[in-house]
Amino acid sequence: MHGNEAVAEGAIAAGCRFYAGYPITPSTEIAEILSGRLPEVGGVFIQMEDEIASMAAVIGASLGGMKAATATSGPGFSLMQENLGFAVASEIPCVIVNVQRVGPSTGLPTKAAQGDVMQARWGTHGDHPIIALCPSSVQEAFTLTVRAFNLAERYRTPVILLMDAIVAQLKEKVELPAQLDVLERPMPTDPPSKYKPFPFTRGEVAPLAPFGREYRYHVTGLLHDEHGFPTEDPDVVNRWWDHMNTKLGAHLDDIVRWEEDRLADAEIAIVAYGASARAAQHAATLARAQGIRAGVFKLQTIWPFPEAAIRTLAQHVPQIVVPEMNLGQVRYEVERLAAGRAQVRGVNRADGLGITPEQIVAALAEARRAS
């Protein structure tokens, strides 16, 4: 499969039965494939007039009880931000696939980038938690799509699959597991008269009843009470914030994942994600052949960021190299967490071409000389 195909098949395997989207390079194949696959499994595909409407339709389908998704690239992702914030505030599970290309604006429509890392975290206005996953192989494009749906349902939140055009267009062998861990949306056990759609339970998430059936409740983008009605009461608002942040923050061990490769004896660490992680793994092999003990810390969950793990890493290596197809978005996070314990340097490009192993090896050699 190629990466976009793996995302489409992962969505079907995870139980996605509704897709609304608008074509945009380099994510269009996801929509093309799902336009045929969803009707085969009893699902619904609809091409909307734009990305704003696409995100709104996904929210409506999810409220109605369906697992729902959309896919886009940077400009479309920007248009989705207001409705994405609505889904966050009203705790509506859904999956948004962003196949990154070079920006800003229409940028280089067919060229790969990793420039939407901070947009995934802070694109909507206000403070809020978010989950974003980042595949670096076609196999991970499948497995992390399934995981994105599971996390969305478990924590009643939008989940972003932050892919890049290299992984999206890459073609590799994929192993489709005979059995998958697929989380179905839990139904409330309380009778409709006692159902609270938004209970402020610290670190917990209530079941979301399908809207418009026997359970009736109010949905708003305004800050609200446990029944969904708007409020400006500071005590209620603070309880809402505590719930919203602890429902993810109390479960970081379940949400945040990464992979470590050859870090046990490493003198220099490479922190990488997406297509850049592929170059990083080969760079570590080339560097070790030159006597530089390099290891790789590969991000799978990019938000919430693995803060504790990066702090620990900075205590064990004096140098960290961060290759990425942007001008340093994850490097800023690593620098913040290293806090002077390790020197952090970036390998950056935003010209539409991928980071090469040779670029990373050159940075590793420079870091070694500096240490």
Closest CA to 314 of 369, 261, 269: 269
pTM, full prediction: 0.97
CA distances from 12 to 15, 38, 68 (A): 5, 7, 10
**CA dist., res. 352 & res. 272, Å (int):** 17
pLDDT tens digits, one per residue of 275-290:
999 999 999 999 999 9
Long-range contacts of 36-45 (CB under 8 A, 24+ apart): 37/8, 37/9, 37/12, 38/12, 41/12, 41/17, 42/17, 43/12, 43/16, 43/17, 43/18, 43/19, 44/17, 44/18, 44/19, 45/19, 45/20
Cis peptide before 304 (omega within 30 of 0): yes
The reply to whether 259-370 shares the fold of 3-169 is yes
Task: Please check whether residue 170 is in contact with residue 180, taking contact to mean a CB–CB distance below 8 angstroms.
Answer: no
Mention every residue, 6+ apart, whose C-beta is less than 8 A from residue 241. Answer: 127
Q: Pairing relation of β-strands 44-47 and 131-133?
A: unpaired
Tell me: pLDDT of 213 over 90. no
Residue 370 pLDDT > 90, yes or no?
no
Domain positions in the chain are 3-169, 259-370
The CATH architecture of the domain made up of 259-370 is: 3-Layer(aba) Sandwich (3.40)
Query: Which of 278-299 are b and which e, b meaning 16 or more Cβ less than 10 Å from the residue's Cβ?
Result: bbbbebbeebbeeebbbbbbbb
Give the model confidence (pLDDT) of 287-332 as tens digits.
Answer: 999 999 999 999 999 999 999 999 999 999 999 999 999 999 999 9
Q: What are phi and psi of 15, to 5 degrees?
A: 100, 10
pLDDT above 90 (res 212): no
- Its CATH architecture, for the domain 3-169, is 3-Layer(aba) Sandwich (3.40)
Q: Which residues pair with 258 in a beta bridge?
A: 299
75 burial type by CB count under 10 A (0-12 exposed, 13-18 middle, 19+ buried): middle
H or E element at residue 21: strand 18-21
User: pLDDT by residue (tens digit) across 148-187?
Assistant: 999 999 999 999 999 999 999 999 999 999 899 999 999 9
Place of tokens 């059995």: 179
User: Looking at this protein, which amino acid is placed at residue 123?
Assistant: G
